[in-house]
Structure 1
């Protein structure tokens, strides 16, 4: 009886894969290790230095601190807030002109308009505090030290030397200089300037009322 022929195997043998290797000349001489967690963020912050600094509860350009001291910025904030009557953190053209005159800048109406136009690039019709500081820095050589004059005046009223103008000190001052004012009038003066409700006027409050009344 003839033997049966075996069927040819249909199994496909896997092909041997050739391992790919980069040519040596294509590999860099040095491959830096992966950065430690957090280093990438630190590097990003260092390469994109923040150009603003938090001061007085707001962000102020670092450029400002190269030209003004922190005390000068505080003083200018008092002026700015005095004319920011609607608490919008901005001042318009009219308010800017009054503020510049208070600071002792010799500027005409036309010059103030040009100053506003230079800074107000978006045509909002108003300036924020950073814009205001930039204008003051630009015109610094044209001004007199109005704050020093007001501080000297404050020392005259602060006869007790405690940093406050009180009812008793004002009454005494009126007697010594023979100024006729009733106690009610003196109380009204203090009440007008006293913002923190301590029945006295400190230096900042005195500066504010002097600027508002345009005495200096």
Structure 2
């Protein structure tokens, strides 16, 4: 009976998709609000173009939310450019959600391990970010994005990593992790590759719809 909750019929049911869309949209909005201080600081001290690379998790959630819209309002007879754009958005929704979902939890746990105090918001963030990673891999089975689109998405992740750690606009860390920045940077790059590998495995073994 539990298998019914993993089925295409249940997961792509319009009522459930609407619920998922609302949850992800609200989470995306909350995420951008969470980054408000860092966005303002970046605008004040950095060139305008770097602002795109600041809000990592909410942008990942935004890509997945847009993917849900494709299922709720499927385009009729899209041209090749529109179809390619959809594939790239889907791929970004997958690899970014997996990467930043795991990254946020890892950084919270690492900070707590070294003595950072945890509040209820941290537990909420860990639950929501794990949900991001899980839902992305769960729904990738039904997406159109293939390996080429995943490579584009992973290229974006690596570019984001490079901009973050070259210009110091990576997400704020607990003070306890300040002396671990080289390890955090290496972990972040590695997680970008892991996210591609995880998505590739789902693509490789997913059942053809």
TM-score normalised to structure 2 length: 0.24
**Which fold has the larger relative contact order, with Cα–Cα distance below 8 Å and residues 6 or more apart in sequence?**
2
Greater strand share, structure number? 1
Larger Rg: 1
